Amino acid sequence: MVAARATSKEVASRLFISNRTVDAHLRDIFRKLGVTSRAEPENHPGPVAPDRARRSERRH
């Protein structure tokens, strides 16, 4: 929903949770992705699963 540009309030309403819960989850996601705003994830390739990263390191 956030990727589709929904606000925290809209996401909270759809999921029946508080805005603060949405914001807390977004902070965690942004921290893991290393981004600081809603605009940055659009261009971010996303995280690599730890086990996939290890497997690709072994191959090279």
The residue ranking higher by pLDDT, 14 or 45, is: 14
Task: Average the pLDDT over 21-49 and give the result.
Answer: 79
Rounded CA-CA distance 19/7 in Å is 9
pLDDT surpasses 80 at 32: yes
pLDDT of 51? 54
Residues 46-59, buried b or exposed e (16+ Cβ, 10 A)? Answer: eeeeeeeeeeeeee
Residues 8-30, buried b or exposed e (16+ Cβ, 10 A)? Answer: beebbeeeeeeeeebeeeeeeeb
Q: What is the pTM of this model?
A: 0.63
pLDDT surpasses 80 at 11: yes
Domain ranges of the chain: 8-59
